Each structure stands twice: as structure tokens, then as C-alpha cells.
Copies of this chain bind each other. A is one copy, B any other.
């Protein structure tokens, strides 16, 4: 049994942050009913790359969900949604704040018909504050939230994280919020609203950049691949690529110095503690930049592994997804899609011993489950469904 079996989610979200949230809920057994606009559906159905006419982007984010078309511009469709919300546990939306209220489907309206409903909103700036109604995209919150300003090569330009961490972080916090609300509901019997803003989440993942600034008064800048307060903790150029080492304490530092036959560095007062090494990072880098080019990446990994020094290569995506550990952990799974055929996608990174999640079913075709769900939730007959379809309500 999966942990969220029996939990029904009405999912109005599109593109990334919201669909990522509901994908995790689906992986763990929730019945996620994706509500899409007739004809077009989730915007990301139009995002490349495509397998045939199916978006690989869409398919990888919407596995395990059912799709129901509802034209929310029609008041009849909005009434149907409200009826469905009576039989749901979670409503998830990522409209700009105010949109659901204009539909008559805001939190207050939905809890009036279902006090147990958990209403989760995942938006760019959240449901309060001066930017509330402004549009936001991943790169905008990565910029506003400070993350870009600390990412990049030393002395170089601020850099966007190459995955949409603005959306994905928000998705992860939203899942946490929904799970806390579900847990609370077990105790109180009541639902609540979960309001997660992409920008807030960027602040929450900024890590030590905030405390470094507040304590030192110095504004953090990109520092390349090194760690601001642990040294050496970065990539070095080996003979044929980069090797990363991560030496988090003095014991490892001593082991590393012995390995490279530079015991002199252990006692060197510039490098004897992590604080010293961090203060003298440039001098240490000069020393190590002469050490690493003597061997290939594979030679270094083998040598360092043998001495228990944390290390690794910089994998490109092709290498990352075929890495033996990634394979052994089933982090790339394959699933059969009725139109696109067999597709690989990321697996489930939360390994539960008793109620494990699983990637079970492919992403839905647009409206694939409209009739099934309307019959199941609202007891609708085929004739009624035909009529709604004819009148473009669904």
C-alpha cells in the first residue's frame, strides 16, 4: 500500500512547479486528477522535445495522473469543479493570486462546500505582499531571490542554475506543506490553505549566503565551484577533466596530504585548520593546481576513493543517468506510454521501506479520463457527458 492511497487531488496546475508537486503525490499513491483546458491542455504539452507529437517534457512531469478537460471559462464547468471539490482531499493550483476567486473557486468558496479540503496554491510571489499579482518565471525568481548572484565563476557573471530550481524548490516545499496539512487534518478533521511562493523558497534555499552577508557585511559573489567556508571543497583540473574533492574536516585533510605525499601541508599554519584553509584558499589552490594535472580523472578517483577522500567527477547528463549508483538505485525508470512508446524518466528518490512510491502509469493524453472521472465522482451518464462535450463545457 502506498502512503497516499485514498487521497484525491484536483490539480489545476500547469508547466512545472505545480505538476512537479502533484507528480510526487501521484508517485506515492494519490489519485491526481489533472484538470486541463479543452483543446490545448497544460501549456507544457506544447514544449519540446517531442516523441512523435507527445511532449517529453510534459510526459516526464505528469506520469501517474488522470486528465479531465474542463473549460473553466464556462460557469457550468466551474460548478462541476465545485462538485468535484466536495469529493476531493486536495485542490492544487498555480494561477496568479485572485484568479481562483474570480472563478468563484477560491479557498473560501471551496471550504464552504468542503471543510476538509486542503487548498494548496503555488505561485510566483505568494498570496500576499506588493508583488502578489506580478507574473513570475523561474529565471525571474532565481534572479530576485539572490541565487544567481552567488552562482557562477569567480569574477564572472551571475548565472542561472541550469535546472529550473525556482520551480522545483517551490514544488518540493508545496508537497511538504500538503503533507503537513494532511497530517494535521488527521488530528483536527479540518483542511487549510497552503500558500507557497517561488520567491520565498529561493530565500529558504540560499543557505549560508545570508548569514555570511549579515555577519560580515560583505555581499557574497559567485565563487566558482568552491565552497565559501569549507576548503578544499571544489573542482580541480586533472589530466583529462575535472576532479572534485570535498575535504570537510582536518582528519580528511591530513589523510589527503599523506596521499599526495605532502605531509608538510598538514602542519603548514596557513592550512592547518579549515578556517585557515578557507582564509588562504587561493594559496592552497595554487599548491593543488600543481598536484592534480599529474593524473587522469579515473586515476584520481581510484586513488582518492582508496584513501576514503570524498571525491567525484563532473558528469555530463548522459554519464549521470547511466552511473552505476544511479542505476542501482532505480533513479532512471522506464514506462510504456500508449502513444510515445517506452520512455525513460527520473525515478522516485524517497525510498520508503513499508509503503514505497513507484512510477506506475504514464502521463495521460489530454482528457483521457474525462468520462471515467465524471462518472466516478459525479455519477454522470454518457449522455450527459456527451452533451457537456457538445457545449464545450468539458
Contacts and interface: CB of A to CB of B under 8 A. Distances in A.
Interface string A324-345: 1110110110000000000111
B310 A136 contact: yes
A224 interface: yes
A157 B152 CA distance: 9
Interface in A198-234: 199-216, 219-227, 229-230, 233-234
Interface in A354-370: 354-355
A377 interface: no
Interface string A183-200: 110101011111111011
Interface stretch (A66-74, A127-135, A257-265, A288-296): A127-135
A376 interface: no
A323 B24 CA distance: 31
Interface string A45-69: 0111111000011011000000000
Contacts of A209: 162-163, 317
B349 A47 contact: no
Given A244-B139, A352-B192, A324 B130 contact: yes
B3 A184 contact: yes
Interface string A127-155: 11111001111111101111111111100
A98 B136 CA distance: 44
A248 interface: yes
A286 interface: no
Interface residues of A, number: 156
B332 A203 contact: yes
Given A234-B139, A315-B144, A325 B131 contact: yes
A140 B311 contact: yes
B138 A246 contact: yes
Contacts of A146: 315-317, 319-321
A163 B200 CA distance: 15
B349 A317 contact: no
A315 B135 CA distance: 17
Contacts of A143: 235, 242, 244, 312-315
Contact of A350 (B129, B163, B196, B223): B196
A317 B206 contact: yes
Interface string A239-252: 00010101011000
The winner among A51, A308, A331 for most chain B CB atoms within 10 A is A331
A287 interface: no
A152 B124 CA distance: 24
Interface stretch (A31-39, A80-88, A171-179, A384-392): A171-179
Nearest to A135: B310
Interface in A1-36: 1, 3-4, 15-16, 24, 28
Contacts of A16: 207
Nearest to A348: B204
Name the 4 nearest CB pairs between A and B, nearest first: A150-B162, A146-B320, A129-B328, A137-B246
